[in-house]
Amino acid sequence: MSYISMNLVTMFYLIASVCFIQALKGLSSPSTARTGNAFGMSGMAIATITTVALIFKLQAQAATTGGLGFTLVLLGVVVGGGIGAFAAKKVEMTKMPELVAAMHSLIGLAAVCIAVAVVAEPWVFQITTPGVALPFGNRLELFIGTFVGAVTFSGSVIAFGKLSGKYKFRLFQGAPVSFPGQHMLNLGIAIALIALGLVFCFAPGVEPAWTPFIIMALLAFILGVLIIIPIGGADMPVVVSMLNSYSGWAAAGIGFSLNNSMLIIAGSLVGSSGAILSYIMCKAMNRSFFNVILGGFGGDPAAAAAGGTQEQRPVKSGSADDAAFIMSNAETVIIVPGYGLAVARAQHSLKELVEKLTHKGVIVKYAIHPVAGRMPGHMNVLLAEAEVPYDQVFEMEDINGEFGQTDVVLVLGANDVVNPAAKDPKSPIAGMPILEAYKAKSIIVNKRSMASGYAGLDNDLFYQANTMMVFGDAKKVIEAMVKAVD
C-alpha cells in the first residue's frame, strides 16, 4: 500500500477516534446524549468503511483470486448489522440491560477468535513473515487479549441469564451461587492461567504452542463463569458496567496485536470509562471496587433471605384517586422512578400527570438513584424517551437534601434505592446511599405487591405511618391519577 493510502487510513481512524471521544462526552449528560449517540454512530461508520476499504486494498495487492475473503467480510457486515438493527428496533426498554450484556459477550468472543487467527497465521496480519516466529511482545498481547476476552464472553453470558430471569438453570438464577472453596478455586485457576500464558509466550520454535494456549482459553471461559455466579441480582447493574470495561480492554489488547490504532483508542476509551463508571456505582451501592474486579461481591444470601422473610406488618393502602388528591393539594412533589415504571412502560403517562400537577401550581421534580433500574442511566433513558425536561431531573446527591422539606414523594416501582434499612448497621445493605424519601411529609408508593426488591429485603419505608401504598400496574395507576387530577 502506498504511503498516501496509509496516511488516509490513519487519518480516518483518527477521525473515528475523535468521534468516539465526543460520544463519551455527549453521553455524560442527558441533555447531550442524542448528540453523543450521533457522534458514536458516525465514528463507527467511518471505522467500518475504512477497515473494509483497507481489506479490499490488501486483497488487491496480494493478487488473490475469487474474492472470498472480501465477500465474507461484507457478509459479516450485512448479517451483523441486520441483527443489530433488528434487535435495537424490537428490544423493549426493560430488556436493554440483558441486550447490553449479550453485546459484551460478542465483543469478548470476537477478541478470542481474532487471537486464534493471529496465532495460526500471523503473516496474514503482517506481523511476521512465513517461517518466522511470533515476537514475545505479540504473544504477550495475544495472551492478555484472549484471557480478558474469554472471561468477558462467559461472564456476560451468565449476566445475560441472570438479568433475563427466563431460564431455570441454577447458574442463571438471580440468587448468588456459592460453594466451599470457591475463592481458592478461582485463585488456582488464575495462577494456572498465568503459568500457561508464560509457557505460550516463551515457547521456542516457529510453531505456536497450541496446547497451553487452548487450555488457557478454556480455563479463562470457566473463570468468567465462576466470578459472576456468586454475584446476586441486586448487583447486576455493576456487573454490566464491569463487563463493559472488560470488553474494552479485550478490544484494546487485540488492537496492539493487529497494530490497529483505532482499536487501541476505542478499546481504551470503553475500558477506562467502564472502570470509572463501575467505581462510581460501587460507591452508590457501598461495594468494594476490588471485590467487583475479582468477582463474588454479592450480598450475603442468608442475610438477604432473613430480611426478605420478615413477619408481615400492617400497611396503609389507598386508591389512585386518594393519591391524586394528596398530590393536587401539595406544594412540592418529588417522583422516584424505579424498575416497576420501566416494566409498565408508564413514562409517557407519568409525564402527562406531572404536566397536570404543574398546571395546578405544584412544583414537581424527579429524583434518580445511580443504580435505579437494571443498568446505569436506565431511568434517565426512560424519562428522556418521554421527553421529560432535563431541568426537572435531579441526581441523588443534588436532591437528597430536599426530601425533608417536600410535601409528597411518589415512589414508582422503586424498592432498594429508597429502603431506610440502609441506615441500619446490621442490614445487608448497610451504608448503601439511598434516596431519603422516608424524610418527606407524605409518601405514596406504587407497587404491584409487597414483594421485596433485588436485594431480597423487606422495605421499612412501606410501613411508615406517613406512607400510603397504591397497588397495581404503574401505567394503569398513573392513568387513573391523571383522570382524578382532571
What are the catalytic residues? Answer: 416
Q: Which three cell numbers stand for residue 139?
A: 504473544
- Dihedral sign, CA of 235, 394, 426, 306? negative
The runs of H, that is alpha helices, within 165-288 are 182-202, 210-228, 236-258, 261-285
Sheet with 467-471: list strands edge to edge: 393-395, 363-368, 332-337, 408-412, 442-447, 467-471
Separation CA 135–CA 125 (nearest Å): 13
In one letter, which amino acid is 141? E
Give residue 207's identity as a one-letter amino acid code: E
299 beta partners: none
Question: Rounded to 5 degrees, what are φ and ψ at 363?
Answer: -85, 115
Helices (H) and strands (E) in the chain, counts: 17, 6
Ramachandran category for residue 217: left, alpha or beta (phi over 0 → left; psi -120 to 50 → alpha):
alpha
Q: Which of 116, 16, 6 is nearest to 61 (CA)?
A: 6
Q: What angle do CA 147, 161, 169 make, to 5 degrees?
A: 105
**Bridge partner residues of 367 (DSSP):** 394
Alpha helices in 121-167 (DSSP H): 136-164
Radius of gyration from C-alpha coordinates of the chain? 26
Q: Using CA atoms, how far apart are residues 283 and 396, in angstroms rounded to an integer?
A: 12
* Cβ-Cβ contacts under 8 Å for 8 (sequence gap 6 or more): none
